[in-house]
Amino acid sequence: MIANQKQISRREALAALGLLALSASPLLSATSTKPTKGIALQLYTLRDPAKKDLADTLKKVRAMGWEYVQWSGMPNLSADKIRGALDDAGLKAIAAHVGMEAFEKDFDTNAKFWKTVGVKDLAPGGMMNDCKANLEAWLRGAARLDIIGAKMRAVGLRLSYHNHGFEFEKFPGDPRAKLDILLAATKPENLNSELDTAWAFNAGTDPATFLRKYKGRCPAIHVKDVVPGKDGKKTELKPLGQGSLNWKEIIAAGEASGVEWYIYEQDNGVGSPFDYAQTSFEFLSKLVR
């Protein structure tokens, strides 16, 4: 027994030395040690270079360290070609922006399309145009989204609503923000909120407070940084960590509220979108564990 214990101890020591040597090896890339599950890139950020060369753009996205993406603003392709382009680049789409009218016209075809791509989370980029005029129209839109969300849930998809700034405004005679009305008028299992942190912040809503208020109802959110405009200056979008948002507080609220995916998006910015996508990956991958 004693001899055997010495042998095991020696093996353990050699294994430990081997792991130590591996961790010090310059061949072990920095990217491979970073956590990427739970963070994704909204490809709309790179829509312009993708129009010129989709394959090269996706390859560069993977080289930055991103493994997961949201499909939006990309060339119009069949589901098979989208999946093939992502597979070739070593990427997986976990979400997409889609129009609801298409699902209302032909649910089965559109559901099959996105299941082929491989996504789970789908979100319109706002309320349907014919459901914005007043509170009555807004509630009709809520009912339509609730129905679509229930059908999506039945086939393994998940519907969320992506906000901009106007959803934090109010209808005359109702003290609630439009987004609060929408979420109150729909079932949590049928419609979630794909909160856009920058739009919420610009509208005077604290993203962390919103996430805590709607705990369990924000599985995927857009993390976007911004410097609000002052003295006539335009609002300026920034790489994550370079704007005005409190990311430690937002991520902490997200972790406590069940956020599964933090999806970085930057509609525009100074310099190359590849540069600010890289900067934001490095920031986000250190913050989300």
Which pLDDT score, from 0 to 100, does residue 11 have? 39
How far lies 151's CA from each of 217, 229, 267, in Å? 18, 41, 31
At 91-103, the pLDDT tens digits run 999 999 999 999 9
Map residue 36 onto helix, strand or coil: coil
Map residue 227 onto helix, strand or coil: strand
Map residue 171 onto helix, strand or coil: coil
Buried b or exposed e, range 124-158, using 16+ CB within 10 angstroms: bbbbbeebeeeeebbeebbebbbbbbebbeeeebb
Amino acid in position 37 = K
Amino acid in position 236 = E
**Domain 37-287 CATH assignment equals 1.10.10.10:** no
Which pLDDT score, from 0 to 100, does residue 86 have? 98
Q: Rounded to two decimals, what is the model's pTM?
A: 0.87
At 136-162, the pLDDT tens digits run 999 999 999 999 999 999 999 999 999
Q: Which two tokens stand for residue 42?
A: 């909204």
Distance CA 214, CA 161 (A): 13
Low-confidence stretches of the chain (pLDDT beneath 50):
1-33
How is residue 236 annotated by DSSP? E
All structural domains of the chain with their residue ranges: 37-287
Which pLDDT score, from 0 to 100, does residue 6 have? 38
Q: Which two tokens stand for residue 178?
A: 């439009």
Which pLDDT score, from 0 to 100, does residue 105 have? 98
Which pLDDT score, from 0 to 100, does residue 233 have? 72
Which pLDDT score, from 0 to 100, does residue 232 have? 61
Which pLDDT score, from 0 to 100, does residue 14 have? 37
